[in-house]
Amino acid sequence: MHKPLVLILMGSDSDLPIMEKAADVLNEMGVPYEMDISSAHRLPERTAEYAKNARGRGIEVIIAGAGMAAHLAGVIASHTTLPVIGVPLKSGALNGIDALYSTVQMPPGIPVATVAIDGAKNAAYLACSILSIKYPEIAERLESFREKTRKSLLEKSKELKKL
Ligand X SMILES: Nc1c(C(=O)O)ncn1[C@@H]1O[C@H](COP(=O)(O)O)[C@@H](O)[C@H]1O
| Closer to ligand X by Cβ: residue 23 or 72 | 72
Using CB under 6 A, pick the residue from 16, 20, 34, 41 that binds ligand X: 41
The CA distance from 162 to 28, in Å, is 32
Alpha helices in the chain (DSSP H): 16-28, 44-54, 72-79, 97-104, 120-132, 136-162
Alpha helices in 57-110 (DSSP H): 72-79, 97-104
| Closer to ligand X by Cβ: residue 15 or 31 | 15
Regarding 79 and contact with ligand X (CB under 6 A), the answer is: no
Regarding 67 and contact with ligand X (CB under 6 A), the answer is: yes
Say how many residues make up the chain.
163
| Strand-strand pairing, 6-10 and 113-114 | unpaired
Regarding 69 and contact with ligand X (CB under 6 A), the answer is: yes
| Closer to ligand X by Cβ: residue 41 or 121 | 41
The least distance separating ligand X from the CB of residue 13, rounded to whole angstroms, comes to 7
Residue 12 marked in a binding site: yes
Regarding 66 and contact with ligand X (CB under 6 A), the answer is: yes
The CA distance from 159 to 123, in Å, is 31
Regarding 14 and contact with ligand X (CB under 6 A), the answer is: yes
Interacting residues toward ligand X by CB under 6 A:
11-12, 14-15, 39-42, 66-72, 89, 91
